[in-house]
Amino acid sequence: MKKETEKDFLLSLEALVRTVIYIKSDKEYLRIMRGEIKKALDGLEQFRLKREAEKRARAAEIKGVAK
């Protein structure tokens, strides 16, 4: 088994630090995207509620005309 030199140790330490930094930035990106997805879902829910209200209004209007 090869004895780990100081240079090997520093290279592996550098790789570990880079990985931690990448994961941290990736988590920040995911946090931002989670917020954006939540906003989009809220927008879709508002659109759905508005469409249902319009359908009910049309149905009530048609019912009123039919009587």
DSSP string, 14-32: HHHHHHHHHHHHHHHHHHH
Q: Specify the pTM.
A: 0.51
Q: Where are the domains of the chain?
A: 1-67
The confidence band for 2, taking pLDDT boundaries of 50, 70 and 90, is: low
Tens digits of residue pLDDT in 27-46: 888 888 888 889 888 888 99
pLDDT given at position 1:
46
Tokens 């550098």 belong to: 14
pLDDT given at position 67:
61
Look up residue 36 and give its two tokens.
């954006």
